[in-house]
Amino acid sequence: MAGSNPSTQEYISHHLTNLTYGKLPAGYVRDGGTLESAQWTVAHSAQEAADMGFMAIHLDTMFWSIFLGALFCWSFARAAKAATSGVPAGFQNFVEMVVDFIDDNVKSIFHHKNDLVAPLALTVFVWVFLQNLMDLVPVDWIPELAKIMGIHYMKVVPSTDVNATAGMALGVFMLIIYYSIKQKGVGGFAAELAFQPLPKWALPFNLFLEIVGLIAKPISLALRLFGNMYAGEMVFIIISLLPFYLQWLLSVPWAIFHILIITLQAFIFAILTVVYLAMAYDHH
Protein backbone atom coordinates (compact mmCIF):
# COMPACT_ATOMS: atom_id res chain seq x y z
CA MET A 1 0.00 0.00 0.00
CA ALA A 2 1.10 3.59 -0.35
CA GLY A 3 1.55 3.76 3.42
CA SER A 4 0.47 2.08 6.65
CA ASN A 5 -2.64 4.26 6.73
CA PRO A 6 -3.06 5.50 3.16
CA SER A 7 -5.33 8.39 2.34
CA THR A 8 -8.27 7.89 0.00
CA GLN A 9 -6.29 9.36 -2.89
CA GLU A 10 -3.27 7.14 -2.17
CA TYR A 11 -5.48 4.06 -1.90
CA ILE A 12 -7.20 4.69 -5.24
CA SER A 13 -3.92 5.61 -6.94
CA HIS A 14 -2.29 2.44 -5.65
CA HIS A 15 -5.05 0.19 -6.98
CA LEU A 16 -5.03 1.90 -10.39
CA THR A 17 -1.25 1.74 -10.88
CA ASN A 18 0.29 -1.12 -12.86
CA LEU A 19 3.42 -3.04 -11.90
CA THR A 20 5.67 -1.32 -14.43
CA TYR A 21 9.10 -2.36 -15.72
CA GLY A 22 11.05 0.23 -17.63
CA LYS A 23 14.14 2.38 -17.94
CA LEU A 24 15.01 5.27 -15.65
CA PRO A 25 17.56 7.73 -17.06
CA ALA A 26 20.94 8.55 -15.56
CA GLY A 27 20.69 11.26 -12.93
CA TYR A 28 17.19 10.20 -11.86
CA VAL A 29 16.56 10.84 -8.15
CA ARG A 30 15.25 7.66 -6.59
CA ASP A 31 14.77 6.54 -2.98
CA GLY A 32 16.92 9.37 -1.71
CA GLY A 33 19.78 8.67 -4.13
CA THR A 34 20.74 9.51 -7.70
CA LEU A 35 21.23 6.91 -10.44
CA GLU A 36 24.73 7.11 -11.89
CA SER A 37 23.65 5.39 -15.11
CA ALA A 38 20.41 4.50 -16.88
CA GLN A 39 18.74 1.55 -15.20
CA TRP A 40 16.05 -0.94 -16.20
CA THR A 41 13.99 -1.63 -13.12
CA VAL A 42 10.53 -2.06 -11.62
CA ALA A 43 8.82 1.22 -10.68
CA HIS A 44 8.42 1.88 -6.95
CA SER A 45 5.81 4.61 -7.40
CA ALA A 46 3.22 5.86 -9.85
CA GLN A 47 5.51 8.79 -10.69
CA GLU A 48 8.38 6.45 -11.55
CA ALA A 49 6.06 4.41 -13.76
CA ALA A 50 5.03 7.57 -15.60
CA ASP A 51 8.66 8.72 -15.97
CA MET A 52 9.64 5.43 -17.63
CA GLY A 53 7.79 6.55 -20.75
CA PHE A 54 6.41 4.64 -23.71
CA MET A 55 8.89 1.74 -23.71
CA ALA A 56 7.86 0.53 -20.25
CA ILE A 57 5.88 -2.70 -19.92
CA HIS A 58 3.11 -3.52 -17.45
CA LEU A 59 4.18 -6.81 -15.92
CA ASP A 60 0.88 -7.50 -14.16
CA THR A 61 -1.13 -6.99 -17.35
CA MET A 62 1.18 -9.31 -19.27
CA PHE A 63 1.15 -11.97 -16.55
CA TRP A 64 -2.62 -12.10 -16.08
CA SER A 65 -3.32 -11.90 -19.83
CA ILE A 66 -0.98 -14.81 -20.59
CA PHE A 67 -2.19 -16.79 -17.58
CA LEU A 68 -5.86 -16.40 -18.53
CA GLY A 69 -5.13 -17.17 -22.18
CA ALA A 70 -3.30 -20.34 -21.15
CA LEU A 71 -6.17 -21.25 -18.82
CA PHE A 72 -8.62 -20.89 -21.71
CA CYS A 73 -6.51 -23.06 -24.05
CA TRP A 74 -5.91 -25.74 -21.42
CA SER A 75 -9.51 -25.98 -20.20
CA PHE A 76 -11.10 -26.02 -23.67
CA ALA A 77 -8.52 -28.52 -24.98
CA ARG A 78 -9.20 -30.75 -21.98
CA ALA A 79 -12.94 -30.58 -22.67
CA ALA A 80 -12.35 -31.40 -26.35
CA LYS A 81 -10.22 -34.46 -25.52
CA ALA A 82 -12.83 -35.70 -23.05
CA ALA A 83 -15.75 -35.11 -25.43
CA THR A 84 -18.06 -38.05 -26.05
CA SER A 85 -20.80 -38.72 -28.55
CA GLY A 86 -23.43 -38.99 -25.84
CA VAL A 87 -25.26 -36.24 -24.00
CA PRO A 88 -22.61 -33.82 -22.66
CA ALA A 89 -22.48 -33.00 -18.99
CA GLY A 90 -20.62 -30.67 -16.68
CA PHE A 91 -17.86 -28.52 -18.14
CA GLN A 92 -18.11 -30.21 -21.55
CA ASN A 93 -21.73 -29.08 -21.79
CA PHE A 94 -20.71 -25.51 -20.93
CA VAL A 95 -17.94 -25.51 -23.57
CA GLU A 96 -20.28 -26.85 -26.24
CA MET A 97 -22.83 -24.17 -25.38
CA VAL A 98 -20.20 -21.42 -25.76
CA VAL A 99 -18.88 -22.88 -29.02
CA ASP A 100 -22.38 -23.25 -30.50
CA PHE A 101 -23.33 -19.73 -29.38
CA ILE A 102 -20.30 -18.17 -31.08
CA ASP A 103 -20.65 -20.39 -34.16
CA ASP A 104 -24.29 -19.39 -34.68
CA ASN A 105 -23.44 -15.70 -34.40
CA VAL A 106 -20.51 -15.99 -36.80
CA LYS A 107 -22.64 -17.80 -39.37
CA SER A 108 -25.30 -15.10 -39.20
CA ILE A 109 -22.75 -12.31 -39.80
CA PHE A 110 -19.84 -13.72 -41.82
CA HIS A 111 -21.06 -15.19 -45.11
CA HIS A 112 -17.68 -16.03 -46.60
CA LYS A 113 -15.37 -19.04 -46.34
CA ASN A 114 -12.60 -18.57 -43.80
CA ASP A 115 -11.47 -21.15 -41.25
CA LEU A 116 -9.94 -18.50 -38.98
CA VAL A 117 -12.89 -16.26 -38.18
CA ALA A 118 -14.97 -18.56 -35.95
CA PRO A 119 -12.01 -19.78 -33.82
CA LEU A 120 -10.81 -16.17 -33.58
CA ALA A 121 -14.23 -15.00 -32.38
CA LEU A 122 -14.33 -17.82 -29.81
CA THR A 123 -10.84 -16.97 -28.57
CA VAL A 124 -11.59 -13.25 -28.33
CA PHE A 125 -14.89 -13.83 -26.51
CA VAL A 126 -13.56 -16.26 -23.90
CA TRP A 127 -10.23 -14.47 -23.41
CA VAL A 128 -11.83 -11.05 -22.93
CA PHE A 129 -14.52 -12.58 -20.69
CA LEU A 130 -11.88 -14.15 -18.43
CA GLN A 131 -9.97 -10.87 -18.25
CA ASN A 132 -13.16 -9.03 -17.34
CA LEU A 133 -14.12 -11.72 -14.83
CA MET A 134 -11.08 -10.84 -12.73
CA ASP A 135 -12.94 -7.64 -11.86
CA LEU A 136 -15.12 -9.71 -9.51
CA VAL A 137 -12.13 -10.65 -7.32
CA PRO A 138 -12.25 -8.41 -4.20
CA VAL A 139 -9.99 -5.46 -4.94
CA ASP A 140 -7.69 -5.93 -1.90
CA TRP A 141 -7.08 -9.68 -1.96
CA ILE A 142 -4.41 -10.07 -4.64
CA PRO A 143 -2.75 -6.63 -4.18
CA GLU A 144 -2.36 -7.34 -0.45
CA LEU A 145 -0.91 -10.79 -1.20
CA ALA A 146 1.49 -9.18 -3.66
CA LYS A 147 2.47 -6.64 -1.00
CA ILE A 148 3.40 -9.47 1.39
CA MET A 149 5.61 -10.90 -1.38
CA GLY A 150 7.33 -7.53 -1.80
CA ILE A 151 5.56 -6.53 -5.02
CA HIS A 152 4.61 -2.86 -5.00
CA TYR A 153 1.60 -2.95 -7.37
CA MET A 154 -0.70 -5.58 -8.83
CA LYS A 155 -3.64 -4.84 -11.13
CA VAL A 156 -5.41 -8.09 -11.85
CA VAL A 157 -7.87 -6.96 -14.55
CA PRO A 158 -5.98 -6.73 -17.87
CA SER A 159 -8.92 -5.10 -19.65
CA THR A 160 -8.68 -2.08 -17.33
CA ASP A 161 -5.30 -1.37 -18.95
CA VAL A 162 -5.72 0.51 -22.23
CA ASN A 163 -2.46 -1.03 -23.46
CA ALA A 164 -4.05 -4.49 -23.34
CA THR A 165 -7.30 -3.49 -25.05
CA ALA A 166 -5.41 -1.44 -27.66
CA GLY A 167 -3.09 -4.39 -28.32
CA MET A 168 -6.02 -6.72 -29.01
CA ALA A 169 -7.73 -4.07 -31.15
CA LEU A 170 -4.52 -3.52 -33.12
CA GLY A 171 -4.36 -7.23 -33.85
CA VAL A 172 -7.91 -7.10 -35.23
CA PHE A 173 -7.02 -3.99 -37.26
CA MET A 174 -4.05 -5.78 -38.86
CA LEU A 175 -6.37 -8.63 -39.89
CA ILE A 176 -8.82 -6.12 -41.38
CA ILE A 177 -6.07 -4.60 -43.53
CA TYR A 178 -4.69 -8.02 -44.48
CA TYR A 179 -7.99 -9.49 -45.64
CA SER A 180 -9.06 -6.26 -47.34
CA ILE A 181 -5.92 -6.36 -49.51
CA LYS A 182 -6.05 -10.14 -49.96
CA GLN A 183 -9.66 -10.11 -51.21
CA LYS A 184 -9.59 -6.91 -53.27
CA GLY A 185 -5.93 -6.30 -54.03
CA VAL A 186 -4.03 -3.14 -53.19
CA GLY A 187 -5.73 -1.25 -56.02
CA GLY A 188 -9.19 -2.46 -55.12
CA PHE A 189 -8.75 -1.59 -51.47
CA ALA A 190 -7.39 1.85 -52.34
CA ALA A 191 -10.26 2.43 -54.76
CA GLU A 192 -12.75 1.44 -52.09
CA LEU A 193 -11.25 4.07 -49.79
CA ALA A 194 -11.03 6.79 -52.44
CA PHE A 195 -14.04 6.39 -54.72
CA GLN A 196 -17.03 5.42 -52.64
CA PRO A 197 -19.71 6.34 -51.88
CA LEU A 198 -19.42 9.79 -53.54
CA PRO A 199 -18.43 10.50 -57.21
CA LYS A 200 -14.76 10.26 -58.27
CA TRP A 201 -14.29 14.02 -58.23
CA ALA A 202 -14.87 13.88 -54.46
CA LEU A 203 -11.76 11.72 -53.93
CA PRO A 204 -10.22 13.91 -51.17
CA PHE A 205 -13.45 13.89 -49.16
CA ASN A 206 -13.98 10.15 -49.68
CA LEU A 207 -10.39 9.35 -48.72
CA PHE A 208 -10.52 11.46 -45.58
CA LEU A 209 -13.86 10.03 -44.42
CA GLU A 210 -12.96 6.42 -45.19
CA ILE A 211 -9.56 6.60 -43.51
CA VAL A 212 -11.12 8.18 -40.42
CA GLY A 213 -13.74 5.42 -40.40
CA LEU A 214 -11.06 2.74 -40.82
CA ILE A 215 -8.89 4.07 -37.99
CA ALA A 216 -11.95 4.51 -35.77
CA LYS A 217 -12.57 0.75 -35.77
CA PRO A 218 -9.63 -0.32 -33.57
CA ILE A 219 -9.90 2.85 -31.46
CA SER A 220 -13.57 2.18 -30.71
CA LEU A 221 -12.83 -1.49 -29.93
CA ALA A 222 -10.07 -0.58 -27.49
CA LEU A 223 -11.70 2.36 -25.75
CA ARG A 224 -15.17 0.80 -25.40
CA LEU A 225 -13.82 -2.22 -23.53
CA PHE A 226 -11.29 -0.21 -21.52
CA GLY A 227 -13.78 2.51 -20.54
CA ASN A 228 -16.46 0.14 -19.31
CA MET A 229 -14.09 -2.08 -17.35
CA TYR A 230 -12.10 0.82 -15.89
CA ALA A 231 -15.31 2.45 -14.67
CA GLY A 232 -16.49 -0.82 -13.14
CA GLU A 233 -13.16 -1.29 -11.36
CA MET A 234 -13.33 2.27 -10.05
CA VAL A 235 -16.77 1.60 -8.56
CA PHE A 236 -15.47 -1.50 -6.75
CA ILE A 237 -12.52 0.50 -5.37
CA ILE A 238 -14.81 3.28 -4.13
CA ILE A 239 -17.13 0.72 -2.50
CA SER A 240 -14.14 -0.83 -0.71
CA LEU A 241 -13.50 2.54 0.96
CA LEU A 242 -16.91 2.51 2.64
CA PRO A 243 -17.69 1.04 6.09
CA PHE A 244 -17.74 -2.76 6.17
CA TYR A 245 -21.54 -3.18 6.30
CA LEU A 246 -21.98 -0.81 3.35
CA GLN A 247 -19.36 -2.71 1.36
CA TRP A 248 -21.45 -5.89 1.45
CA LEU A 249 -24.68 -4.01 0.95
CA LEU A 250 -23.43 -2.37 -2.26
CA SER A 251 -20.77 -4.73 -3.61
CA VAL A 252 -23.03 -7.77 -3.95
CA PRO A 253 -25.72 -6.15 -6.16
CA TRP A 254 -23.03 -4.30 -8.13
CA ALA A 255 -21.13 -7.57 -8.69
CA ILE A 256 -24.31 -9.29 -9.89
CA PHE A 257 -25.00 -6.42 -12.30
CA HIS A 258 -21.33 -6.38 -13.34
CA ILE A 259 -21.57 -10.01 -14.48
CA LEU A 260 -23.88 -8.76 -17.23
CA ILE A 261 -21.43 -5.99 -18.13
CA ILE A 262 -18.36 -8.23 -18.38
CA THR A 263 -20.23 -10.76 -20.52
CA LEU A 264 -21.73 -8.08 -22.77
CA GLN A 265 -18.37 -6.36 -23.31
CA ALA A 266 -16.70 -9.65 -24.27
CA PHE A 267 -19.55 -10.41 -26.67
CA ILE A 268 -19.41 -6.95 -28.26
CA PHE A 269 -15.64 -7.16 -28.80
CA ALA A 270 -15.95 -10.60 -30.42
CA ILE A 271 -18.93 -9.73 -32.61
CA LEU A 272 -17.45 -6.43 -33.80
CA THR A 273 -14.32 -8.35 -34.75
CA VAL A 274 -16.45 -10.62 -36.95
CA VAL A 275 -18.39 -7.66 -38.39
CA TYR A 276 -15.20 -5.79 -39.31
CA LEU A 277 -13.71 -8.88 -40.97
CA ALA A 278 -16.95 -9.43 -42.90
CA MET A 279 -16.72 -5.81 -44.12
CA ALA A 280 -13.12 -6.47 -45.19
CA TYR A 281 -14.35 -9.35 -47.35
CA ASP A 282 -17.31 -7.49 -48.88
CA HIS A 283 -16.83 -5.92 -52.32
CA HIS A 284 -18.50 -2.58 -53.09
**Positions marked catalytic:** 220, 224, 228
Total Cβ atoms within 10 A of residue 174: 11
The secondary structure element, H or E, covering residue 122 is helix 117-133
Q: How far apart are CA 6 and CA 12, in angstroms?
A: 9
CA dihedral 16, 158, 162, 50 (to 10 degrees): 40
Tell me the C-alpha to C-alpha distance, in Å, between residue 104 and each of 7, 22, 58, 107.
50, 44, 36, 5
Handedness of CA 260, 264, 265, 270 (dihedral sign): positive
Compute how many other C-beta atoms are within 10 angstroms of the C-beta atom of residue 93.
Answer: 12
Write the CA distances from 97 to 89, 107, 231, integer angstroms: 11, 15, 30
Evaluate whether 159 touches 131 at the Cβ level (below 8 Å).
yes
Tell me the three state secondary structure of residue 220: helix
Please spell the DSSP secondary structure of 222-275, one letter per residue. HHHHHHHHHHHHHHHHHHHTS-HHHHHHHHHHHHHHHHHHHHHHHHHHHHHHHH
Residue 4 host element (H or E): none
Beta bridge partners of 22: 41
Euclidean distance between CA atoms 43 and 40, whole angstroms: 9
